[in-house]
Amino acid sequence: MYDDTIVAIATPPGEGGLGVVRLSGAQAWAIASRFFDGTLQNGRVVHGYVRDAEAGVVVDEVLVTAMAAPRTYTREDVVELTCHGSPVALQRVVALALRHGARMANPGEFTLRAFLNGRIDLAQAEAVLDVIQAKTEAGLRLAVGGLRGGLSERVSAVRTRLLDLHAYFTACIDFPEDEVESQIEIDPPAMLAEAASGLKRLLEHADAGMVYRHGVRTAIVGRPNVGKSSLLNRLLGEDRAIVTGLPGTTRDTVEEVANVRGIPFHLVDTAGMHEARDEVEHLGIQRSRKAVEQADLLLLVVDGSVPITEADRQVLALADGRPFLAVANKSDLAPAFDLDDVPSPAVRVSALTNEGLDDLTQAMAETVLGGGVHSDDAMLVTNPRHKAALERALAHVAAARHGLEAGTPEDLVTIDLAASLSALGEITGDGVTEELLDTIFQRFCIGK
């Protein structure tokens, strides 16, 4: 579909042992041959040097892998040059490729070409980004499942049934006087019920899937000196936040990602909630309140070794109908109150000894997953765009079922069928618009 050749650095920016420059397109081999002094061989790794003939210098010693279409990532001719990971050397190699006829790739353009050339569908293309951005083993497994076509297979099965029914109704409309024959058994009510059931199954675990993919923004909130920073360090498994016996040590928000039972929790350790004594504390508390507003989950921390204070009650009141866990810290000391004195759900822990930490992480996972246990096979939907498209498809299938039961003319029922098919096509890429493609692939890094 594209007649030009693109180039980009395919490895992350910065210094490293190795860096890869990738070319894709009809002229990839020819362009690479103009500055690589070895002989390219299909599917073979060749050693040689990149030379800048105009400057009369050797740019780098490299290993080059050349792959001929269509057995490549993009289904185009591809050349990958494995260089030393010097940003200067990599940029020089890209500059040589540009000088000899290549074009700088747009974000995600290699994967876009793989989609447009039919090697993967749109859901698989988006799963590539999920694999790259996976923050936990569980998230990676789900992303690889999408890359292998798990979601596409289920969506295509539903779409096929709806296509068969749409074709049957269309034929009945076009040839009203004839008895329409079909190579498959057509039972419209049963087929619509089957499609609705398939869509509902996909949507059932969508929220859990998105939790594993995107993670949960979690604010750790409490008055000064209740152990918020110590709790953050325990959840991270390392000393990230400064901890002292002095109240008010944390004067700004500290953010890190913790892998909690396979879920990436974006933890925000906040400044202690109290009356600010100076401008710095005031700004820190303002940021804490903003973190609370933006959080998906609140860990409301109190000191379980002393009676609840008015400041604690103000912190606990932040729940206000939002997902939260009350955390009574310092359980290694004698408790000063019963957990019934704080809002439920509540957990007693010790950030000093790790006591109760397993109960806390279990409660965190259950809170964000709705208390259910989900298998990787069930969590096929991990993308909000896919969830929205499935919900639209299900709504139109429901409308078609209602219309059929009410005796609505077939030409009106086909409108809902067509709308449902269009929504599902947004997932697999069937009939997708250029505007949607631009929106999706702009999120990719250049080089992928």
pLDDT of residue 247: 47
- End-to-end alpha carbon distance in the chain: 18
Separation CA 322–CA 425 (nearest Å)? 35
pLDDT of residue 439: 84
pLDDT of residue 243: 46
- Tally of CB atoms within 10 A around 32: 28
pLDDT of residue 242: 45
Which pLDDT tens digit goes with each residue over 72-92?
999 999 999 999 999 999 999
Residue 278 token pair: 């100076």
Q: What residues are paired with 221 via a beta bridge?
A: 300
User: Per-residue confidence at 113, pLDDT binned at 50, 70, 90?
Assistant: very high
Q: What Cα–Cα distance (Å) separates residue 199 from each residue in 295, 380, 385, 403?
A: 30, 11, 15, 19
Which pLDDT tens digit goes with each residue over 25-72?
999 999 999 999 999 999 999 999 999 999 999 999 999 999 999 999
Separation CA 236–CA 446 (nearest Å)? 31
Mean pLDDT, the chain, rounded, equals: 87
* Contact between 106 and 443 (Cβ < 8 Å): no
Identify the structural domains of the chain with CATH numbers, from first to last.
6-121 (3.30.1360.120), 125-205+380-428 (1.20.120.430), 212-369 (3.40.50.300)
Percentage of the chain exceeding pLDDT 90: 60
Q: Is the pLDDT of residue 401 over 60?
A: yes
42 vs 437, higher pLDDT: 42
Q: Is the pLDDT of residue 246 over 80?
A: no
Q: Are strands 16-24 and 216-221 parallel, antiparallel or unpaired?
A: unpaired
pLDDT of residue 443: 83
pLDDT of residue 290: 83
pLDDT of residue 253: 63
Separation CA 418–CA 423 (nearest Å)? 9
Q: What are phi and psi of 47, to 5 degrees?
A: -90, 145
The amino acid that residue 7 corresponds to is: V
Which pLDDT tens digit goes with each residue over 287-309?
777 888 889 999 999 999 999 88
Separation CA 301–CA 224 (nearest Å)? 10
